[in-house]
Amino acid sequence: MATTILSGRSLVLTIATKDYSDQILTANLTISTDRLTFDTIAGRAYKYIDNNATLDLEFLNDIGETDSLTKALWDATESAPDTVLAAVLTAKTGKTFTFNVLPSWPSQGGTGSDAQKVSVSLQVVGSITESL
């Protein structure tokens, strides 16, 4: 089987139906599993409890732009922090991950000569749908 190499440039990210791919430096959807482990007389036993997912973003500070991700997250967090935003992460291969995230305030600041970067970790709510 041939190996397919995908880079971050193979991703498209939309939040609340707007494509923010141009300013996003990294986008990572991370899912962790909560599982209990029991040591029984017969050996180890496992019990799945739940999972937790986050969408971790680092992007260029676009606060002054018309369709600013920084401003959109800031405003959504300020006005409706418990209201989900739809997110779709699409790979160049066509595989998509569709899910909802809760808004959160992005970090603000920067270093001397670098472009200002913003980072935020958004809590995923509900299930993640994967499709080809």
Query: Could you tell me the pTM of the whole model?
Result: 0.83
Span 14-29, pLDDT tens digits: 888 898 888 888 889 9
Strands 117-131, 24-40: pairing is unpaired
Q: Structural domain boundaries of the chain?
A: 8-131
Laid out side by side, the sheet with 85-91 consists of: 18-19, 11-15, 85-91, 96-101, 117-131, 43-60, 24-40
Give the pLDDT confidence of 80-124 residue by residue, as tens digits.
999 999 999 988 778 899 999 999 999 887 777 888 889 999 999
Domain formed by 8-131, architecture: Beta Barrel (2.40)
